[in-house]
Amino acid sequence: MKALILHGKEDLRVEEVEEPVPPGGWVKLKVEEVGICGTDKAFYKGTYRPLKLPIIPGHEIGGVVVDVGKGVDKDLIGRRVTTEINISCGKCWFCKHGMPTQCPYRKTIGISIDGGMAEYMITSADVLHFIDDLTPAKGAMVEPLAAVLEGIQQAPPPPGANIAVLGIGTIGLLSIQVLRLLGPNILVGVSRPGSPKAKIAEKLGVDEVLTYDEALHLVKRKTPEGQGFDYVVEATGSPEGVGMALNMVRPRGVIIAKSTHGKMVSLDYTSLIVKEVQLVGSRCGPFPPAIRLIREGLVKVDELITDKYPLTDGVNAFKKAFSRESVKVHLLPS
Ligand SMILES: [Zn+2]
Ligand SMILES: [Zn+2]
């Protein structure tokens, strides 16, 4: 089969490899559509290292079950699915305390084991979710939406909150839609106003898209005592994002941190403490509510997929994923 293999920093190649065989309890998927995520981009740039190299990246999957390993119901064959990214052990302290995504023995698709940027991939039957009624494109958007829900679940905004979303890439645009459902007072995007992405953000629920300076100005005019937003989502994908978020959050406000660029950041740490800001890191999240939000059209995902490339053009797809005008780039392996 054809696969896109990352060998190291900016060394991505389309190669012919053996098709994977599902072991007991696992299934083989024919990958229909797979998203390029910010994490994949950081792997490509070499700022964040996958746990295995070379690796087939890709953890945002829409596909069909084509084979099953020992002990798995054959009726699964032909079902359209998406797979969770973490395959946990189910036995350790973290798994037993409701934190399977932090299982130290977990396998992580596209990070510690081969992922979906290939014609076929394997995953555990335990982490499949059925999406027979959704397109593969929507299926591949479940994982990023679940990751957005995780942060909001860990630290939800109060009703009627003043909210800023920094960065309006995939995570920003998904966050905007979920936060809009929670009835904010102010909901602004912080990026470059007037850009194609800003137009999408305005269509999907922000009051307006402001520059960073305009957002600081709005803080002074429109938030209580001019002290800042209640809730800031940092989804810039850049090391400067968290410092900007800290400057615009109010005392005792919340910053949801979502940028996995792999770089070191410098931060006014004392201000974080004096303002008693909650800085909430979060990664992978719950799939069932993400599927429900997409299925019911409460979160729109097709608008975010700006480019689709065949797998064989994967290198150009990655380059496109770094361009300013694209939001989410998908690969079509089959
Ligand atoms: Zn991702
Ligand atoms: Zn475990």
Tell me which ligand sits closest to the C-alpha of residue 40.
1
Q: Please give the domain boundaries of the chain with CATH numbers for all domains.
A: 2-141+301-332 (3.90.180.10), 147-281 (3.40.50.720)
Tell me the CA distances in angstroms from 259 to 37, 156, 186, 324, one per residue in order: 11, 18, 23, 17
- Centre of ligand 2 from the C-alpha of residue 181, in Å: 34
pLDDT tens string 200-219 = 999 999 999 999 999 999 99
pLDDT at 325: 85
- Centre of ligand 2 from the C-alpha of residue 64, in Å: 27
Phi (first) and psi of residue 217, to 5 degrees:
-65, -40
pLDDT tens string 107-160 = 999 999 999 999 999 999 999 999 999 999 999 999 999 999 999 999 999 989
- Centre of ligand 2 from the C-alpha of residue 108, in Å: 12
- Centre of ligand 2 from the C-alpha of residue 98, in Å: 10
Residues with CB under 5 A from ligand 1 (ion): 37, 39
- Centre of ligand 2 from the C-alpha of residue 88, in Å: 5
pLDDT at 90: 95
- Buried b vs exposed e over 228-256: b needs ≥16 C-beta within 10 Å? bbbbbbbbbbebebbebbbebbbeebbbb
Q: In this structure, what token pair is assigned to residue 324?
A: 């300013």
**Omega before 54 within 30 of 0, i.e. cis:** yes
Tell me which ligand sits closest to the C-alpha of residue 36.
1
pLDDT tens string 269-290 = 999 999 999 999 999 999 999 9
